């Protein structure tokens, strides 16, 4: 088993790290929230006093952080790379700007450290179940080395291309997800306003040409799917503020390449309005509240 360092134990990182602990790896964990570290320590992980302590002697370093500035700050600002052994493999699982991923990967390469950007899809449920999708950028040889560990946290692993490619693919996926969720919520609200039962309409759409991931697995209307965040007060899941962040990353990528993303830009504006109304901490399916405030 590998000696693994895991930094960042939020809603996604904690269950990912827990699966590695259950797999029997020698796991060192660190987070700025002591309670998060304590929960992993109860599962057998070593509670590291700092990020530097966590990576000491690690074969594999995994990070799952909120945004680009945190990743760049940790690896470059705090110079974590200088504390990582050159024989180690770094797997950066945060969803960040492709340019940030490339910048950090270049710095790692300059120190002789192999690094992958490997953002994930599948949400907190997938993280807990170990069924995440990993979207990987970096060298194929490094991915081959990472695969046995990734397979203990996920079921699908894709090599998108060189450094930064994993982030580009993830941004494209989440932009489409934001558009689909906003459109699904809008269609359901229209149907209900015109007298339809939301469950009946959802069943119809799920078997018709409007079917999508939201109608099949993550319905935004409360009570339609018992397991969905919508039926739990929009608690847990993938936060609206995080969706807004990812849509912002898509906008930045579009600007850098002069690409047109009219629907992506509209979805970003809708989630910005939603967050400004005080719903940023709710699951992103709560965008339904724009169409059904009550």
Active site residues: 170
3-state secondary structure of 5: strand
In degrees and rounded to multiples of 5, residue 290 shows phi and psi of -65, -30
Dihedral (CA of 88, 9, 285, 125) sign: positive
The Cα 1–Cα 247 span in angstroms is: 38
CB 215 within 8 A of CB 186: no
Question: Nearest CA to 12 among 65, 90, 68?
Answer: 65
The Cα 12–Cα 14 span in angstroms is: 6
The Cα 136–Cα 117 span in angstroms is: 6
Question: Nearest CA to 124 among 240, 220, 8, 11?
Answer: 11
């Amino acid at each position: 088993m590998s000696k693994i360092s895991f930094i960042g134990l939020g809603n996604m990182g904690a269950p990912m790290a827990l699966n590695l602990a259950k797999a029997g790896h020698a796991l060192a964990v660190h987070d700025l929230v002591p309670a998060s570290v304590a929960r992993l320590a109860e599962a057998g992980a070593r509670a590291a006093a700092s990020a530097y302590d966590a990576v000491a002697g690690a074969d594999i370093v995994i990070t799952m952080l909120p945004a680009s500035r945190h990743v760049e700050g940790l690896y470059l600002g705090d110079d974590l790379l200088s504390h990582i052994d050159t024989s180690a493999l770094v797997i950066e699982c945060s969803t960040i700007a492709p340019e940030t991923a490339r910048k950090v990967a270049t710095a790692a390469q300059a120190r002789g450290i192999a690094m992958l950007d490997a953002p994930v899809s599948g949400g907190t449920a997938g993280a807990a179940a170990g069924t995440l999708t990993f979207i990987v950028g970096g060298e194929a040889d490094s991915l081959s080395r990472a695969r046995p560990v990734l397979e203990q946290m996920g079921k699908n692993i894709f090599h998108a291309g060189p450094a930064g490619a994993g982030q580009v693919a993830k941004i494209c996926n989440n932009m489409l997800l934001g558009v689909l969720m906003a459109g699904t919520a809008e269609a359901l609200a229209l149907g209900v306003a015109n007298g339809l039962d939301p469950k009946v309409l959802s069943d119809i759409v799920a078997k018709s040409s409007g079917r999508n991931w939201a109608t099949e697995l993550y319905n935004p209307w409360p009570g339609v799917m018992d397991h969905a965040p919508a039926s739990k007060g929009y608690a847990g899941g993938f936060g609206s503020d995080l969706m807004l962040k990812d849509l912002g990353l898509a906008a930045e990528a579009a600007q850098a390449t002069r690409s047109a993303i009219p629907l992506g830009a509209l979805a970003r504006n809708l989630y910005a309005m939603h967050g400004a109304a005080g719903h940023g901490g709710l699951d992103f399916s709560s965008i339904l509240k724009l169409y059904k405030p009550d």
